[in-house]
Amino acid sequence: MITIEELKEKIGSVIDPSRNHTLHDLNAIKHAGIDGDEKGVVLLIEVGKKNTDTTQVITRAIAKIVKLDLGFKSLVIDYEQARPKALTKTVKLIGVVSGKGGVGKSTVTANLAYALTSMGKKVGVIDADIYGANMPKIFECEVHELNGTPDQKLYPVEIDGIQMVSTEFLVEPDRALMWRGPMLGKVLKIFFEDTIWSQELDYLLIDLPPGTGDVMMDVKNMVPDAKMLVVTTPHPNASHIAIKAGFAAKSLNQDILGVLENMSYYEIDGVKHYIFGQGGGEIVADKLTVPFLGQIPIGQPSSGKHSIFAETERIGIIYLALAKRIMEEYLRAE
Ligand SMILES: Nc1ncnc2c1ncn2[C@@H]1O[C@H](COP(=O)(O)OP(=O)(O)OP(=O)(O)O)[C@@H](O)[C@H]1O
Ligand SMILES: [Mg+2]
């Protein structure tokens, strides 16, 4: 009769399509058992994305091995979401991408964090813009070394109930980062594995740098089930690059929640002025065949922090509606 080790070896050759590696290489077989009467197999498998597209493919491949090749009568597989150590299995991960710089990713990320918080959610933010980190400025918090533990774990800062980490906290103030590729991966590892996030987090928002480079790939490798939010302005210069960023995410097999158009218009006395043109957001959504989630006008908060809109302001109310829509789209995409 086959041993558990032999069973694991055979199943180990199956590929997790959400991570494109074998279960063996991913160390994804968390439990394998054979019934006392040796008729059935029970498995616990960790997957990059716990969706039916992924689990059906794996179940079919394993069933072929277990039932056809090895002759077992029954097979029960439980699937578990793979997660970096510091995160719970249930926190919802949203990456904010744009392609073009300066379209408002960081501003949108921070305002969505505030909107979700005012809707009763516990939110964390990762400033993964390694070279142009500016989340501490947007949150208007002091830049200082993060508190840590003797075993090198870091506590995020907490501002208005939102947990946040940024590369700004990892270097001396005002010194530019000159890190190369391998270092970038380490920074994300710190944020995903060595940060003491609240166990209560509902959402973790990841503000990605402009472009479609290494950081996007690292995010894909560490949290393959993170869903992407594409931000663009209405201008064709931004929208055509946002389309590229969206296709890059798609080619990495990342789910896209939808497209947000920022700086859509400037409103004076109830009249909307489309300063940067019109239609960019819808074009991007059409091309990527994902939902268009809405528009954010040009504007400045009237009080409080210089980039954060209060929930009572006109643009703050727009952010609340967008946050609600994003929560719904996330559930739909799961
Ligand atoms: N809706 C808006 N109305 C007015 N100003 C805005 C709006 N959104 C963003 N801004 C301003 O535009 C500038 C760029 O925004 P932000 O830094 O959020 O963009 P980004 O896409 O994160 O940029 P980068 O690519 O450099 O990371 C900031 O000065 C910000 O305050
Ligand atoms: Mg930014």
pLDDT in tens, 293-313: 999 999 999 988 999 999 999
Label residue 234 left, alpha or beta by phi (over 0 means left) and psi (-120 to 50 means alpha).
alpha
Do 161 and 224 sit in the same domain of this protein? yes
> Which numbered atom of ligand 1 lies nearest the CA of 110?
18
Do 140 and 227 sit in the same domain of this protein? yes
Does the residue 298 lie in any domain? yes
Location of structure tokens 């959504």: 285
> Which numbered atom of ligand 1 lies nearest the CA of 296?
1
Does the residue 230 lie in any domain? yes
Residue 41: give its domain's CATH number. 3.30.300.130
Grade residue 145 by pLDDT with cuts at 50, 70 and 90. Answer: confident
- Cα–ligand 1 centroid distance for 149 (angstroms): 34
- Cα–ligand 1 centroid distance for 138 (angstroms): 10
Of 31, 61, 81, the last residue of a domain is: 81
**pLDDT attached to residue 182:** 59
- Decide if 248 contacts 216 (C-beta within 8 A): yes
Could you tell me which residue, 122 or 144, shows the higher pLDDT? Answer: 122
Q: Which range of residues forms the domain containing residue 44?
A: 4-81
Do 260 and 155 sit in the same domain of this protein? yes
Read off the tokens for 41. 């197999």
Tell me the three state secondary structure of residue 32. Answer: strand
Residue ranges in 102-180 assigned as alpha helix (H) = 105-118, 135-139
Does the residue 151 lie in any domain? yes
| Residue in 97, 100, 105, 107 to alter for ligand 1 test, most ligand atoms within 8 A of Cβ | 107
Quote the CA–CA distance of 173 and 118 in Å, as a whole number.
31
Does the residue 87 lie in any domain? no
Do 269 and 168 sit in the same domain of this protein? yes
Grade residue 100 by pLDDT with cuts at 50, 70 and 90. Answer: confident
Does the residue 177 lie in any domain? yes
Do 144 and 75 sit in the same domain of this protein? no
Q: Whose CA is nearest to atom 28 of ligand 1?
A: 104
Q: Whose CA is nearest to atom 9 of ligand 1?
A: 104
Do 172 and 33 sit in the same domain of this protein? no
Grade residue 37 by pLDDT with cuts at 50, 70 and 90. Answer: confident
Could you tell me which residue, 169 or 47, shows the higher pLDDT? Answer: 47
**pLDDT attached to residue 173:** 53
Do 165 and 298 sit in the same domain of this protein? yes
Does the residue 143 lie in any domain? yes
- Decide if 266 contacts 298 (C-beta within 8 A): yes
Average pLDDT taken over every residue of the chain? 91
Q: Whose CA is nearest to atom 25 of ligand 1?
A: 101
List ligand 1's pocket residues with C-beta within 6 A.
98, 101-107, 129, 132, 134, 210, 262-263, 296, 298-299, 307
Quote the CA–CA distance of 74 and 41 in Å, as a whole number.
6
Do 321 and 235 sit in the same domain of this protein? yes
Parallel/antiparallel/unpaired status of strands 227-232 and 256-262: parallel
Cβ count near 124 (within 10 Å): 25
> Which numbered atom of ligand 1 lies nearest the CA of 98?
21
Q: Domain total for the chain?
A: 2
| Structure confidence by residue, pLDDT tens digits, 117-138 | 999 999 999 998 877 788 999 9
- Decide if 48 contacts 19 (C-beta within 8 A): yes
- The amino acid sitting at 133 is A
Residue 272: give its domain's CATH number. 3.40.50.300
Of 54, 81, 108, the last residue of a domain is: 81
Model confidence, pTM: 0.91
Of 81, 114, 137, the last residue of a domain is: 81
Do 72 and 126 sit in the same domain of this protein? no
Do 152 and 126 sit in the same domain of this protein? yes
- Cα–ligand 1 centroid distance for 265 (angstroms): 14
Do 213 and 271 sit in the same domain of this protein? yes
Does the residue 282 lie in any domain? yes
> Which numbered atom of ligand 1 lies nearest the CA of 262?
1
**pLDDT attached to residue 201:** 98
Does the residue 86 lie in any domain? no
Do 188 and 111 sit in the same domain of this protein? yes
